[in-house]
């Protein structure tokens, strides 16, 4: 190598170093640590006034520890979806959990100074707890809870529905540890006129207007007081990853994921249906069926509560070319507040159905696992369709369910394509 | 005299302290440099921004992913400062529904009055991102076929 070449490579290296340094400066120390799920040991030596986290130009898969096979639907705010075969684990790991955000990620999160305030018209007396108090004062519970985005499957609606075009992957069932919301509310004291809870959190509105909340939803008291409705601080046995709501989030299994507020620092006990951001104009479907494309007035819409029965085949991945005439399929099924009582598959577009082995849920509101050995009569192209039926006898439709303006609740049967050689 | 000697000594010590301070500042600075550099997690890949923010390659505006066509820069300027272009390119709507969406953004999201640009923007969107009929169920497309191991 000539001296000149050496000089050039040195310059090049220094330039790269500079770029990296620029990047580090842009990241606020705390959120950077949160994002990576690791402490920055020399953090104290960095000045405090760094510019806010600049997420653009960053690899989201590395930043959020996600599988590279996921699809980035949106990067401002971050919305990332796994392909359905990445959801094969019984308990969903962080790597393949979908990311749904309505606003910008919080810029700094300090678990040691985190507090939760319970206020609102229907609280006996406003009360604030530190995170440490929540952890020490109340009994902790761990549940596997299915959380599905209400807009999962939106991409199939015709005419197209507005919003992130989720396909099949906006659902997960992780193991959540926290305290029961009902234990906390009983400790605070709730008036008999309480109707609804509404959460507030520290994420930012896209406009960065501090007076605007990106999302502030909630649920009726009956859901808030369920045993499985948690204020969680652990996911799969570890601190909740930053993008999934560190250090404290609500988890309301079986309901639209938007009820499970992330980064929660305040919960209001309301004497009416909560009227926070995205309680109106979103997460609603027509009260009565409408024709595709029809306009529906706000007062003719109802809030989505329990999610409908649904299932996914997570193995094999669609597109398998089989050497033999049989294949083992497996996947998960869930039914909002209910349980899945029957799981079937079809290889002839619904002419005949065969049953799958179906396991009981790990606990109420956890998804259930199914499997079957599918026999295929000859070589050729097949679609394997899966259909779940809930404990009320309601099954998934093979066609798209009723059109709605925002494209929610698509629980049409999932299918994979396979070929026998 | 002793007092002069003393003041010479004092100024010598002062100089020494100054040098020591300067050196320690340099030392601390270089240490910080190293620390920052070393603690930069290697797995954080940095996607290099295109040199030209409005670079167009194969008919695509590289920074936003928008299709190059008449009105594109109006979309870039007015629509991508608050949200990602990805939410635009994912959606397929009629002029009426794009106009409704703009109205909603103005009423609730702090979008400004677009003036004459609104028509340019909506025309661009309808023309370049038109809705396609999907029916009651789409056929399975873009399947990546693979040999499955037994």
All residues of chain A having their beta carbon less than 8 Å from the beta carbon of residue B86 are: 72-75
Facing B110 at nearest CB: one of A59, A209, A327: A209
For residues B92 and A41, give the distance between their C-alpha atoms in angstroms, rounded to a whole number.
Answer: 47
Calculate the average pLDDT of chain A.
Answer: 89
All residues of chain B having their beta carbon less than 8 Å from the beta carbon of residue A321 are: 145-148
Question: Is the peptide bond prior to A247 cis by the omega test (within 30 degrees of 0)?
Answer: yes
Which of A44-53, A229-238, A268-277, B133-142 shows the lowest mean pLDDT across its residues?
A44-53
Asked whether the beta carbons of residue A417 and residue B140 sit closer than 8 angstroms, the reply is yes
B51 touches chain A (CB under 8 A): no
Task: Give the H or E element holding residue A81.
Answer: strand A78-81
All residues of chain B having their beta carbon less than 8 Å from the beta carbon of residue A319 are: 143-146
Are B116 and A145 spatial neighbours (Cβ–Cβ below 8 Å)? no
Residue A318 exposed, middle or buried by CB count within 10 Å (0-12, 13-18, 19+)? buried
- pLDDT tens sequence across A29-44: 444 444 443 333 333 3
Of A172, A356, A168, A372, the closest CA to residue A254 belongs to: A172
Are A341 and A390 spatial neighbours (Cβ–Cβ below 8 Å)? yes
Distance (Å) of CA A419 to CA A39, B140, B144:
49, 13, 12
For residues A249 and A230, give the distance between their C-alpha atoms in angstroms, rounded to a whole number.
Answer: 8
Instruction: Identify the band that residue B110 occupies on the pLDDT scale cut at 50, 70 and 90.
Output: confident
Which of A190-194, A238-242, B6-10 shows the lowest mean pLDDT across its residues?
B6-10
Are A361 and A400 spatial neighbours (Cβ–Cβ below 8 Å)? no
Are B62 and B50 spatial neighbours (Cβ–Cβ below 8 Å)? yes
Percent of chain A's residues with pLDDT above 70: 86
pLDDT at A381 > cutoff 60: yes
Facing B148 at nearest CB: one of A76, A156, A321: A321
How many angstroms separate the CA of residue B149 from the nearest CA in chain A? 8
How many angstroms separate the CA of residue A380 from the nearest CA in chain B? 13
- CATH top-level class for A310-420? mainly beta
All residues of chain B having their beta carbon less than 8 Å from the beta carbon of residue A59 are: 44-47
Residues listed for chain B: 150
Query: Do the domains spanning A111-303 and A310-420 agree at the CATH topology level?
Result: no
Average pLDDT over residues A140-163: 96
Q: Where are chain A's structural domains?
A: 1-60, 111-303, 310-420
For residues A89 and A360, give the distance between their C-alpha atoms in angstroms, rounded to a whole number.
Answer: 16
How many angstroms separate the CA of residue A227 from the nearest CA in chain B? 36
Distance (Å) of CA A227 to CA A117, A145, A237, A296, B39:
21, 12, 19, 36, 43
Facing A162 at nearest CB: one of B93, B108, B110: B93
ipTM (interface pTM): 0.81
Question: What is the CATH architecture assignment of A111-303?
Answer: Alpha-Beta Complex (3.90)
The 3-state DSSP composition of chain B as helix, strand, coil percent (nearest 5) reads 50, 5, 45
Distance (Å) of CA A4 to CA A10, A347, A396:
10, 67, 69
Nearest CA in chain A to B39: A40
Q: A19 or B21: whose pLDDT is higher?
A: B21
For residues B30 and B26, give the distance between their C-alpha atoms in angstroms, rounded to a whole number.
Answer: 6
- pLDDT tens sequence across B3-58: 567 777 777 777 877 887 777 777 766 655 544 444 444 444 455 555 688 899 99
Facing B150 at nearest CB: one of A40, A62, A324: A324
- For chain B, report the end-to-end CA distance as a whole number of angstroms: 99
A298 touches chain B (CB under 8 A): no
Can you read off the two tokens belonging to residue A21? Answer: 């340094």
């Amino acid at each position: 190598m000539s001296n000149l070449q050496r000089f050039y490579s040195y310059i090049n290296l220094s330039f790269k170093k500079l770029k990296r340094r620029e990047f580090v400066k842009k990241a606020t120390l705390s959120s950077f640590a949160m994002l990576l799920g690791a402490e920055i040991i020399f953090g104290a030596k960095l000045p405090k006034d760094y510019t806010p986290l600049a997420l653009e130009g960053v690899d989201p898969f590395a930043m959020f520890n996600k599988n590279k096979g996921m699809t980035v639907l949106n990067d401002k705010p971050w919305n990332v979806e796994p392909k359905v075969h990445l959801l094969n684990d019984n308990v969903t790991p962080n790597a393949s959990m979908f990311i749904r955000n309505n606003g910008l990620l919080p810029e700094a999160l300090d678990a040691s100074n985190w507090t939760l305030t319970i206020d609102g018209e229907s609280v006996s007396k406003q009360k604030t707890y530190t995170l440490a108090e929540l952890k020490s004062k109340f009994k902790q519970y761990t549940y596997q809870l299915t959380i599905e985005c209400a807009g999962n499957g939106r991409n199939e609606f015709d005419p197209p529905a507005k919003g992130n075009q989720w396909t099949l992957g906006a659902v997960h069932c992780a193991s959540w540890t926290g305290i029961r919301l009902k234990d906390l509310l009983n400790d605070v004291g709730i008036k008999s006129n309480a109707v609804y809870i509404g959460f507030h959190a520290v994420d930012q509105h896209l406009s960065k207007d501090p007076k605007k909340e990106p999302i502030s939803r909630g649920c009726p008291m009956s859901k808030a007081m369920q045993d499985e409705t948690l204020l969680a601080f652990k996911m799969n046995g570890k601190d909740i990853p930053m993008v999934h709501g560190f250090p404290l989030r609500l988890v309301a299994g079986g309901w639209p994921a938007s009820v499970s507020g992330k980064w929660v620092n305040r919960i209001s006990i309301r004497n009416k249906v909560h009227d926070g951001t995205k309680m109106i104009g979103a997460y609603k479907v027509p009260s009565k069926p409408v024709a595709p494309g029809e306009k529906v007035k706000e007062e003719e819409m109802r809030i989505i509560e329990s999610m409908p029965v649904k299932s996914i085949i997570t193995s094999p991945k669609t597109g398998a070319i089989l050497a033999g005439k049989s294949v083992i399929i497996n996947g998960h099924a869930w039914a909002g507040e209910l349980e899945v009582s029957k799981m079937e598959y079809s290889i002839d577009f619904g002419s005949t159905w065969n049953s799958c082995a179906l396991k009981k849920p790990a606990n109420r509101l956890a998804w259930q696992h199914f499997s079957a050995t599918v026999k295929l009569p000859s070589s050729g192209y097949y679609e394997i369709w899966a259909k779940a039926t809930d404990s009320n006898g309601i099954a998934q439709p093979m066609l798209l369910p009723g059109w709605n303006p925002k494209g929610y609740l698509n629980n049409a049967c999932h299918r994979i394509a396979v070929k026998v050689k | 005299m002793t007092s002069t000697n003393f003041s010479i000594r004092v100024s010598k010590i002062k100089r020494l302290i100054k040098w020591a301070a300067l050196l320690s500042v340099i030392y601390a600075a270089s240490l910080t440099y190293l620390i920052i550099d070393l603690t930069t997690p290697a797995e954080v890949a940095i996607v290099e921004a295109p040199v030209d923010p409005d670079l167009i390659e194969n008919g695509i505006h590289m920074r936003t992913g928008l299709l190059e066509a008449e009105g594109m820069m109006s979309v870039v300027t007015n629509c991508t400062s608050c949200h990602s272009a990805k939410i635009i390119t994912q959606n397929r709507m009629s002029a009426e529904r794009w106009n409704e969406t703009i109205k909603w953004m103005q009423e609730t999201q702090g979008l400004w009055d677009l003036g004459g640009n609104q028509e340019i923007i909506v025309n661009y969107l309808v023309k370049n991102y038109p809705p396609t009929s999907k029916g009651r169920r789409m056929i399975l497309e873009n399947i990546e076929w693979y040999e499955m191991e037994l």
